[in-house]
Amino acid sequence: MATRNAYGDALRALGVRPDVVALDGEVSDSTRADRFAEAHADRYFEMFISEQQLVAAAVGLQVRGYRPFASTFAAFLSRAYDFVRMAGISGADIALSGSHAGVEIGADGPSQMGLEDLAAMRAVQGSTVLYPSDAVSCAALVVEMVDRRGVNYLRTTRGGHPVLYDNDEAFPVGGSKLLRGGADDRVALIGAGVTVHNCLAAAEALAGEGITARVIDAYSVKPLDAGRVREAVRDTGGRLVVVEDHYPEGGLGSAVLESLADLAEPVRVRHLAVRGLPTSGTPTQLMDQAGIGVGDIVAAARTLA
């Protein structure tokens, strides 16, 4: 199930609260905000292709006591960045959802791929940045955002991916999940969103070579679970592979490295990210082309282990 579908379902369910409203920039059939619109038409606002107005209206609605969720493609939120920045400065409490992020969207091409959004949203004063890997974590994080202060950003993906968690699993902001690991791990694979699934597949392949790999789902990019990262450093002898469907600047890799800045222990990090201009193709083709596919993770882990 795609996390964008889980976003739409969770938002529709939250509509039982009369203070929850939704806004979208004329892509609600893609972001899945249309599911809220179908159930709660009187509290859905179509802002059309006007992303600055989308964020401005969300800020205005929260001033009036509502809990706004505003959604569009992650790439298109760049058009409204000044308004997002000012929302942070103003202390506004809003939830933003950016869908169709990364090269994972495949055939839509680079103009539609949000590859700078994690960096941009992390830089906003007081922001929260969340990137779920499956439907269960996405739905739980939507609920986490509804009453959270400040600018809250949720990154969702276009394609469907396996469900990893049970429905009763908790996903507190600032946390992470250890999906695979033990006392004899030789390397830690840290991903978020779609790359978590690549990390799991890579860990399975590495196990066949006799290399035990820990897999961490860093669903909370800001605040990051620094304790989990430092634990991985200590347990693996400082061997980390960080994988993200994002440009290398300012995203998950930066968050991980910042968390280790004052750690007085040796660390070896391989950072896999999208370093060139993507083209158009299948998700697997584009992730392999970008160097964040399963084979790339296996190769990076081998150089450390």
Q: Rounded to an integer, what distance in angstroms lies between the CA atom of residue 135 and that of residue 268?
A: 32
- Record the tokens describing residue 20, joined without a space: 């929850």
Asked whether the CA dihedral 86, 96, 98, 172 is positive or negative, the reply is: positive
Query: Strand 177-180 vs strand 213-217: parallel, antiparallel, or unpaired?
Result: antiparallel
Q: Angle CA(283)–CA(13)–CA(155) in degrees, nearest 5? A: 30
Task: Please state, in angstroms and rounded to a whole number, the distance separating the CA atoms of residues 30 and 276.
Answer: 26
Nearest residue to 225 (alpha-carbon basis) of 252, 187, 196, 265: 252
116 annotated active-site: no
207 C-beta neighbours (distance < 10 Å), count: 12
List, in sequence order, every beta strand (DSSP E) within the chain.
Answer: 20-24, 44-46, 67-73, 94-99, 128-130, 151-155, 177-180, 187-191, 213-217, 220-222, 239-243, 268-272
Q: Catalytic: which of 38, 51, 116, 144?
A: 51
Q: At residue 180, what are phi and psi to the nearest 5 degrees?
A: -160, 135
Active site residues: 51
